[in-house]
Structure 1
Amino acid sequence: MDEEKRITLRLPAGLHAWLAAQAKSARRSLNSEIVYRLESERTAAEADAESP
C-alpha cells in the first residue's frame, strides 16, 4: 500500500464475530483480514471485467 487511510467501520455484531474468527484462524489481525478480503474481491471483480 502506498498510502493508508483510516476509516470508522460499523459492522453487525454477527459479521464482526465471524470476521474475527476468520482472522484468528488465518493468524491475521481483524484489520488485515478485512483488507485481505476486500483486495481479493477487487482482484476477482477486475478479472471479471476483463473477461469477454
Structure 2
Amino acid sequence: MGKSYTDEQREDIAKQEYKPYKESDPVKIGKEKDIVGYVSQINDKSTGEQSFVIY
C-alpha cells in the first residue's frame, strides 16, 4: 500500500515537475527534504510532453 501524503506534501510533489531531473536523481519534498523516490525513467516525447517515472 502507498504512503498517504498531506495536501501540502502533494502540492510540493506537483511542483517537482518543473525541476530538471536526470535518471537516478532523488525526488525530495518538504522543509526536511524527505526523499519520496528516485527518477527511474524519463519519457520525453516529440510533442513536448515530458514525464518521469519515480520509484
Which interval holds the TM-score relative to the shorter structure? 0.3 to 0.5
- TM-score normalized by the length of structure 1: 0.34
- TM-score normalized by the length of structure 2: 0.33
The structure with higher relative contact order (CA 8 Å, sep 6+) is 2
Tell which structure's C-alpha radius of gyration is larger: 1
| Structure whose residues are more often strand by fraction | 2
